[in-house]
Protein backbone atom coordinates (compact mmCIF):
# COMPACT_ATOMS: atom_id res chain seq x y z
CA UNK A 1 0.00 0.00 0.00
CA UNK A 2 1.09 3.55 -0.68
CA UNK A 3 1.05 6.18 2.07
CA UNK A 4 -2.45 7.59 2.36
CA UNK A 5 -4.17 4.56 0.82
CA UNK A 6 -7.15 3.29 2.78
CA UNK A 7 -7.76 -0.39 3.43
CA UNK A 8 -10.38 -1.99 1.24
CA UNK A 9 -12.76 -4.82 2.05
CA UNK A 10 -10.96 -7.54 0.13
CA UNK A 11 -10.49 -10.17 2.77
CA UNK A 12 -10.83 -10.76 6.50
CA UNK A 13 -9.39 -13.62 8.45
CA UNK A 14 -9.98 -15.07 11.90
CA UNK A 15 -7.18 -16.57 13.96
CA UNK A 16 -7.79 -18.54 17.13
CA UNK A 17 -4.76 -18.81 19.40
CA UNK A 18 -2.56 -17.75 16.47
CA UNK A 19 -3.90 -20.29 13.95
CA UNK A 20 -5.87 -19.08 10.91
CA UNK A 21 -9.18 -20.95 11.03
CA UNK A 22 -11.58 -19.01 8.84
CA UNK A 23 -11.97 -16.32 6.22
CA UNK A 24 -14.91 -14.01 6.82
CA UNK A 25 -17.63 -12.43 4.72
CA UNK A 26 -18.49 -9.61 7.14
CA UNK A 27 -17.38 -8.14 10.48
CA UNK A 28 -19.48 -5.80 12.62
CA UNK A 29 -19.31 -4.25 16.06
CA UNK A 30 -15.60 -4.21 16.84
CA UNK A 31 -15.40 -1.48 19.44
CA UNK A 32 -13.37 -0.34 22.39
CA UNK A 33 -15.15 1.56 25.12
CA UNK A 34 -14.40 2.66 28.62
CA UNK A 35 -16.28 4.42 31.37
CA UNK A 36 -15.74 8.12 31.93
CA UNK A 37 -15.37 9.27 35.52
CA UNK A 38 -16.57 12.80 36.08
CA UNK A 39 -15.92 14.64 39.31
CA UNK A 40 -16.08 18.20 40.56
CA UNK A 41 -13.68 20.11 42.71
CA UNK A 42 -12.97 23.70 43.64
CA UNK A 43 -9.94 25.49 42.21
CA UNK A 44 -7.44 27.43 44.31
CA UNK A 45 -9.35 30.57 43.30
CA UNK A 46 -12.61 29.11 44.66
CA UNK A 47 -14.20 28.35 41.27
CA UNK A 48 -15.97 25.05 40.62
CA UNK A 49 -14.09 22.86 38.12
CA UNK A 50 -15.37 19.71 36.42
CA UNK A 51 -12.73 17.08 35.63
CA UNK A 52 -12.99 13.88 33.62
CA UNK A 53 -10.81 10.80 33.88
CA UNK A 54 -10.71 7.46 32.07
CA UNK A 55 -12.46 4.65 33.88
CA UNK A 56 -12.69 0.90 33.48
CA UNK A 57 -12.57 -0.61 29.98
CA UNK A 58 -15.76 -2.38 28.95
CA UNK A 59 -16.05 -5.83 27.42
CA UNK A 60 -17.64 -6.09 24.01
CA UNK A 61 -19.45 -8.16 21.41
CA UNK A 62 -18.74 -8.40 17.70
CA UNK A 63 -20.59 -10.19 14.93
CA UNK A 64 -18.98 -12.06 12.07
CA UNK A 65 -20.56 -13.63 9.02
CA UNK A 66 -18.79 -16.54 7.40
CA UNK A 67 -19.49 -18.87 4.56
CA UNK A 68 -20.75 -22.16 5.98
CA UNK A 69 -17.60 -24.29 5.82
CA UNK A 70 -16.23 -27.38 7.46
CA UNK A 71 -13.54 -25.58 9.48
CA UNK A 72 -13.01 -28.17 12.24
CA UNK A 73 -11.18 -25.82 14.63
CA UNK A 74 -13.79 -23.09 14.28
CA UNK A 75 -16.72 -25.48 14.67
CA UNK A 76 -15.07 -26.99 17.76
CA UNK A 77 -14.70 -23.52 19.29
CA UNK A 78 -18.37 -22.75 18.64
CA UNK A 79 -19.49 -26.09 20.11
CA UNK A 80 -17.31 -25.76 23.22
CA UNK A 81 -18.65 -22.24 23.80
CA UNK A 82 -22.29 -23.19 23.40
CA UNK A 83 -21.83 -26.27 25.60
CA UNK A 84 -20.49 -24.07 28.41
CA UNK A 85 -17.01 -25.63 28.42
CA UNK A 86 -15.45 -22.32 29.34
CA UNK A 87 -12.11 -23.77 30.43
CA UNK A 88 -11.41 -24.56 26.76
CA UNK A 89 -13.85 -22.20 25.00
CA UNK A 90 -12.24 -18.93 26.13
CA UNK A 91 -9.66 -18.24 23.44
CA UNK A 92 -7.59 -15.35 22.25
CA UNK A 93 -8.85 -14.56 18.77
CA UNK A 94 -7.65 -12.09 16.16
CA UNK A 95 -9.64 -10.59 13.32
CA UNK A 96 -7.30 -9.50 10.55
CA UNK A 97 -8.00 -7.13 7.68
CA UNK A 98 -5.86 -8.05 4.68
CA UNK A 99 -4.92 -6.12 1.57
CA UNK A 100 -5.50 -7.31 -2.00
CA UNK A 101 -2.34 -9.45 -1.77
CA UNK A 102 -3.62 -11.14 1.46
CA UNK A 103 -1.01 -9.42 3.63
CA UNK A 104 -2.35 -8.57 7.11
CA UNK A 105 -2.71 -4.80 7.47
CA UNK A 106 -4.76 -4.35 10.64
CA UNK A 107 -5.39 -6.68 13.56
CA UNK A 108 -8.04 -6.68 16.26
CA UNK A 109 -7.04 -8.94 19.15
CA UNK A 110 -9.97 -10.27 21.19
CA UNK A 111 -8.88 -11.50 24.63
CA UNK A 112 -10.85 -14.32 26.27
CA UNK A 113 -13.32 -14.51 23.41
CA UNK A 114 -16.08 -17.09 23.00
CA UNK A 115 -19.13 -17.60 20.81
CA UNK A 116 -22.48 -17.00 22.45
CA UNK A 117 -24.89 -17.12 19.51
CA UNK A 118 -24.97 -18.72 16.07
CA UNK A 119 -27.55 -17.99 13.37
CA UNK A 120 -27.80 -19.87 10.10
CA UNK A 121 -28.39 -17.64 7.08
CA UNK A 122 -31.67 -17.80 5.22
CA UNK A 123 -31.88 -20.20 2.30
CA UNK A 124 -34.20 -20.34 -0.70
CA UNK A 125 -34.60 -23.42 -2.85
CA UNK A 126 -33.45 -22.94 -6.41
CA UNK A 127 -31.24 -19.90 -5.71
CA UNK A 128 -27.54 -19.97 -6.38
CA UNK A 129 -26.07 -18.40 -3.28
CA UNK A 130 -23.55 -19.28 -0.61
CA UNK A 131 -24.79 -20.51 2.74
CA UNK A 132 -23.67 -18.29 5.60
CA UNK A 133 -23.60 -18.33 9.39
CA UNK A 134 -23.66 -15.31 11.68
CA UNK A 135 -21.63 -15.80 14.86
CA UNK A 136 -21.77 -13.44 17.84
CA UNK A 137 -18.49 -13.37 19.76
CA UNK A 138 -18.15 -11.86 23.20
CA UNK A 139 -14.75 -10.76 24.46
CA UNK A 140 -13.25 -9.28 27.60
CA UNK A 141 -10.80 -6.90 25.94
CA UNK A 142 -10.08 -5.58 22.44
CA UNK A 143 -6.62 -4.40 21.43
CA UNK A 144 -5.97 -2.86 18.00
CA UNK A 145 -2.68 -3.29 16.22
Kindly report, residue by residue over 98-125, the tens digit of the pLDDT. Answer: 887 788 888 999 999 999 999 988 888 8
CB 10 within 8 A of CB 23: no
| 131 neighbors 68 (Cβ within 8 angstroms) | yes
Spatial neighbors of 37 by CB under 8 A, at least 6 apart, are 52, 53, 54, 55
Q: Which of 19-23, 38-42, 68-72 has the highest mean pLDDT?
A: 38-42
Q: What is the pLDDT of residue 118?
A: 93
Strand partners, 77: none
How confident is the model at residue 18, as a pLDDT? 86
Residue-wise pLDDT tens digits, 65-104 = 988 877 888 889 999 999 999 999 999 999 998 887 788 8
- Provide the Cα torsion 104, 11, 27, 113; round to 10°: -50
- Which option is the CATH number for 11-144: 2.30.110, 2.40.30, 3.40.50, 2.60.120? 2.30.110
What's residue 8's pLDDT? Answer: 67
CA distances from 114 to 69, 75, 76, 98 (A): 19, 12, 11, 23
Query: At 131, is the pLDDT very low, low, confident or very high (cuts 50, 70, 90)?
Result: confident
Amino acid sequence: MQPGDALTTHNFGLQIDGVMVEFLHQVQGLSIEQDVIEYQQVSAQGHPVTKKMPGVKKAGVCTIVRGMTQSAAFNQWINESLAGQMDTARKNATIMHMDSMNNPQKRYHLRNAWCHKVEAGSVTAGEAQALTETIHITYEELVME
